[in-house]
Structure 1
């Protein structure tokens, strides 16, 4: 077995192609780039695995600095004793070194490493990542457009521009009148395609009930994601008994254990699965398996990933039954993905078939644009 001999970490500010705003604030704009941390693993045989993760502390607590320092100082000593196939052993040792406490410890840092492990393992085995997970059940993955909080004009322009997409996630920000206008604007343009509302914790029950009353006649609204704070699982459960729209849990469920607890409280009809919050591909798969075993539907999502994270998500979701098309919005929202060999046509991603993640990483550009975080 080929042991890991080197771990490198690079933080890069990645420009956005368009403004993208959540209920919790701006993720990025053409003038406000977001930080992405790339990880490169090299084995004693010279095989390379790449991982990545976006730093978005307004969504979860990890910053580019903490992701980089956790990988360099705490996860690298673990990795240098392992092979790329030792994914479960890596997570066990990471849990021992950095206790996950109630939920998940440094999941974004661990997810970047986990993706790199899968990439290297696939290359060593001569297999695509989805084959390491049990194999794909589809060759293509339809995508969902992500429409951020904005003016009616900006929302309409985005909806029209994303006409190829099979579904639409519409971000809502807590302003009942503005959100109702945005939902109606999208519905007017998408010809009955499914609309997935995402509040990103920005609502309280009374205001939410007013929003749902104001949009009751809007066709195509499929579900509502995480209206209340992530810690308020009981509030989510109470809302589920008050409204007739299916509720999805996202920020309130990072791990399979989190989801199991939410299910016991009857708090969700659907769960949003993201590699970043689960701490990696294999842990995200465990969450999905708990959901499907318990009658909770799976929604696929990411965190505006570049090409490495996007490819990892496509491999994962190629083998799962999904409630809606996958909301993997990096190709839609970023100006560059830092990889080649991704195939996306008419908002449908082809599942890569080459070994590992199946993408060619632009290492030269990543190295040239890497930030000096002064953490060595």
Structure 2
């Protein structure tokens, strides 16, 4: 089997309502689908998600990188995923999103060629149902507490409160209120998206002392490793690093540091191959894993996330594919959440069919 064509398709992924974070409000995302075709007629799909605030990559740069790299691997055997991943990473510096999009498509092809779901290629299926880590966060405590209650009643059990968007006292009230309002089987976490200073972060985290909160993600700006460690050591709540991690070396830098876990993303680590390598590294270092999509992604990237989650030994900090809250998608049957869970797609490859690129 040989790759005969690689195409990049810009798409716009719309949200039903904007998602507010500490430093940005997301109304939509301009992403790129990649289609890899083989001489046997097998087609694989992947997706690169624009993330200017995380990777610095725009839709235009992702598309250009896919076209540049893709031209160089035409004629290659798509089943050689590990070798191709290493080769692609040498072709362009720091284009993990483009490499990842092609890598996802190659896994889709391999699964289809072998007649198995992608998760089977990643070491076997550990779980077929993945709890969805759902986002809550308007900056208004009463609203967020009621939203969390309603989502719990509809089947959700994992919650992440968006923080760093309002007054610290109000946000402490929100997290305390959500924790008090939900039964013990609910997992409550938070994500400050770099929204606080070191002093503000420590104040907030100490305000949660004694509460059953699983983790707080990226409380301060990336780039100050020592400050991140000081916050982690001062915090009674486990800390998860997201924007502070862009490579395997960054993951390793948090070993025995006081930071408890790492947020792994397809766009940061180069697709499925990179995420699964990152998961293995986290496990070896005793770091918990949060597996997250980049808001917003279609069901293509979301499916890749679900397959990774299905194959990982443990995801102690939850899984949040980025297709939650879309108003449109590119697949025949968009991935959906039922009773608070994603079910692993049952078909070969990613288990999804792209049919609506124009939306």
- What is the rounded CA distance, in whole Å, between the counterparts of 2:125 and 2:235 in structure 1? 36
Q: Secondary structure of the residue that 1:91 maps to in structure 2?
A: helix
Contact 2:15 2:327 in 1 (8 A): yes
- What is the rounded CA distance, in whole Å, between the counterparts of 1:338 and 1:4 in structure 2? 23
2:266 to 266, 275, 282: 275
Greater alpha carbon shift after TM alignment, 191-200 vs 150-159: 150-159
Deviation of 1:135 (Å): 0.8
2:124 to 96, 118, 135: 135
2:230 to 232, 235, 238: 238
Deviation of 1:231 (Å): 1.6
* Aligned residue in 2 for 1:91: 85
Contact 1:233 1:267 in 2 (8 A): no
* Aligned residue in 1 for 2:25: 26
| Correspondence 1:286-325 to 2 at 5 A | 286-304=277-295, 305-320=297-312, 321-325=314-318
Contact 1:144 1:329 in 2 (8 A): no
* Aligned residue in 2 for 1:204: 197
1:123 matched to 2:82: no
Deviation of 1:350 (Å): 1.3
* Aligned residue in 2 for 1:173: 164
- What is the rounded CA distance, in whole Å, between the counterparts of 1:348 and 1:272 in structure 2? 19
- The change in CA–CA distance for 1:195 and 1:4 in structure 2 (over 3 A counts) is same
Q: Secondary structure of the residue that 2:263 maps to in structure 1?
A: strand
Q: Which runs of 5+ in 1 are unaligned?
A: 100-104, 370-376
Q: Which runs of 5+ in 2 are unaligned?
A: none
Contact 1:234 1:267 in 2 (8 A): no
Contact 1:169 1:327 in 2 (8 A): no
Q: Secondary structure of the residue that 1:308 maps to in structure 2?
A: helix
Deviation of 1:92 (Å): 2.1
- The change in CA–CA distance for 1:301 and 1:119 in structure 2 (over 3 A counts) is same
1:327 to 306, 312, 320: 320
1:285 to 270, 276, 283: 276
Deviation of 1:284 (Å): 0.6
For the aligned residue pairs, the C-alpha RMSD in angstroms reads 2.0
1:247 matched to 2:239: yes
Q: Secondary structure of the residue that 1:162 maps to in structure 2?
A: helix
Q: Secondary structure of the residue that 2:173 maps to in structure 1?
A: helix
* Aligned residue in 2 for 1:12: 11
Q: TM-score, normalised by structure 2?
A: 0.91
* Aligned residue in 2 for 1:36: 31
* Aligned residue in 2 for 1:191: 183
